[in-house]
């Protein structure tokens, strides 16, 4: 029986090789298409405010040259557009820096409770201005995770800021951090950070696409609120590097809930059981 078996093996291997080759080709093409799409999107996002700034400069050099009131108004608009371009470039740079470090697993232990508490304090005045109260429920002790402090601050900032921005009509944002012990079938314990707002929520068809770069439910609304469409893509990339996960749930009309889970690095977590 050994002869026919031996003969069969190379055929199978060759066939498997061919199949793999085609798969690689399609995924390479898809990756290339995604990259081209991203460059086109980013260029368009920068071009729009730039065209507006150039238009106002021309008006100020021509018809509105001696109109002091128009000058003040136009300068204000130009400043807003320049700030929008800066936000976009900052987010593009963040995204590329995070991507460059994608293969580096964080080794530093940081206290997620302190990070969340700091961000709640930072964003509370801005929330209050919009009539939103941020209510935080944090464990009394530290919540250790392996991570990059600045990146985890960024995750927390993006989620709370979105909840305030898009859910302001709900008047309240609940932020909760809990440690979840390992259960049956699970090797590790986790920590879960949830950010819940009570605004209009998100229709189910949008949920799977929210972490795509430049994907926005309502482009005009996002721009009006100072969004770049990159926030959740940044969150997703940071979490991938941290072996974390983002779960989005929403009941339209009732608000949205964004939950981040990360491996627990404290007593009872993976590092202590190792």
Does the footprint of ligand ADP cover residue 262 (CB under 6 A)? no
Measured from the CB atom, the residue of 89 and 182 that comes closer to ligand ADP is 89
Which is nearest to 245 in space by CA: 184, 192, 183, 178?
192
Q: Is 210 in the site for ligand ADP (CB under 6 A)?
A: yes
Residues 232 and 246: their CA atoms lie apart, in Å, by 9
Tell the smallest beta-carbon distance from residue 111 to ligand ADP (Å): 25
Among 106, 144, 167, 269, binds ligand ADP (CB under 6 A): 167
Report the distance separating Cα 132 and Cα 151, nearest Å.
25
Task: Collect all residues with Cβ–Cβ distance below 8 Å to 203 and sequence separation of at least 6.
Answer: 217, 250, 252
Reduced to 3 states (helix: H, G, I; strand: E, B; else coil), residue 248 is strand
Range in contact with ligand ADP (rule: CB under 6 A) among 5-13, 97-105, 132-140, 212-220: 212-220
Nearer to ligand ADP, 150 or 218 (CB): 218
Do strands 133-137 and 172-180 pair parallel, antiparallel, or not at all (unpaired)?
parallel
Cα–Cα distance between 227 and 130 in angstroms, integer?
16
Q: Work out how close the CB of 156 gets to ligand ADP at its nearest, in angstroms, rounded to a whole number.
A: 13
H or E, element range at 81:
helix 68-100
Cβ contact 212:233 at 8 Å: yes
Least distance in Å: CB of 244 to ligand ADP? 17
Give per-residue burial for 7-21: e unless 16+ CB within 10 Å, then b.
eeeeeeeeeeeeeee
Q: Which of 127, 143, 163, 246 binds ligand ADP (CB under 6 A)?
A: 163
Please report whether residue 202 would count as binding ligand ADP according to CB under 6 A: yes
Residue 177 has phi, psi (to 5 degrees) of: -125, 125
> Of 66 and 205, which CB lies nearer to ligand ADP in the complex structure?
205
Stretch that binds ligand ADP, among 54-62, 106-114, 143-151, 158-166 (CB under 6 A): 158-166
Sign of CA dihedral 75, 78, 84, 87: negative
CB of 96 to ligand ADP, least distance (A): 16
CA distances, 48 to each of 45, 52, 76, 124 (Å):
6, 6, 17, 32
Q: Verify binding: residue 144, ligand ADP, rule CB under 6 A.
A: no
- Binding letters toward ligand ADP, positions 215-234, x by CB under 6 A: -xxx---x----xxxxxxx-
Q: Is 197 one of the binding residues for ligand ADP (CB under 6 A)?
A: yes
Give the nearer residue to ligand ADP in terms of CB position, either 41 or 59. Answer: 41
256 belongs to the binding site for ligand ADP (CB under 6 A):
yes
User: Segment contacting ligand ADP (CB under 6 A): 32-40, 93-101, 110-118, 159-167?
Assistant: 159-167
Positions in the binding site for ligand ADP (CB under 6 A): 158, 162-163, 166-167, 197, 199, 202, 210, 216-218, 222, 227-233, 256
């Amino acid at each position: 029986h050994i002869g026919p078996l031996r003969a069969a093996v190379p055929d199978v291997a060759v066939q498997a090789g061919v199949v793999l080759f085609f798969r690689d080709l399609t995924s390479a093409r898809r990756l290339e298409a995604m990259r081209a799409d991203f460059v086109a999107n980013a260029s368009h996002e920068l071009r729009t405010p730039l065209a507006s700034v150039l238009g106002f400069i021309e008006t100020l050099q021509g018809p509105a040259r001696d109109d002091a009131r128009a000058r003040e108004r136009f300068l204000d608009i130009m400043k807003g557009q320049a700030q929008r371009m800066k936000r976009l470039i900052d987010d593009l740079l963040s995204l590329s820096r995070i991507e460059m470090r994608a293969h580096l697993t964080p080794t530093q232990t940081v206290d997620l409770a302190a990070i969340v508490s700091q961000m709640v304090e930072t964003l509370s005045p801005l929330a209050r201005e919009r009539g939103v109260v941020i209510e935080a429920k944090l464990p009394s002790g530290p919540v250790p995770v392996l991570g990059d402090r600045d990146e985890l601050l960024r995750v927390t900032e993006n989620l709370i800021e979105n909840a305030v921005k898009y859910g302001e009509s709900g008047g309240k944002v609940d932020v909760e951090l809990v440690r979840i012990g390992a259960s049956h079938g699970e090797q590790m314990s986790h920590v879960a950070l949830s950010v819940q707002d009570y605004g209009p929520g998100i229709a189910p068809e949008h949920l799977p696409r929210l972490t795509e770069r430049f994907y926005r439910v309502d482009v005009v609304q996002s721009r009006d609120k100072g969004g770049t469409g990159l926030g959740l893509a940044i969150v997703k990339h940071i979490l991938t590097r941290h072996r974390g996960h983002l779960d989005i749930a929403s009941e339209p009309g009732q608000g949205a809930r964004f939950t981040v889970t990360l491996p627990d690095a404290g007593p009872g977590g993976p590092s202590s059981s190792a």
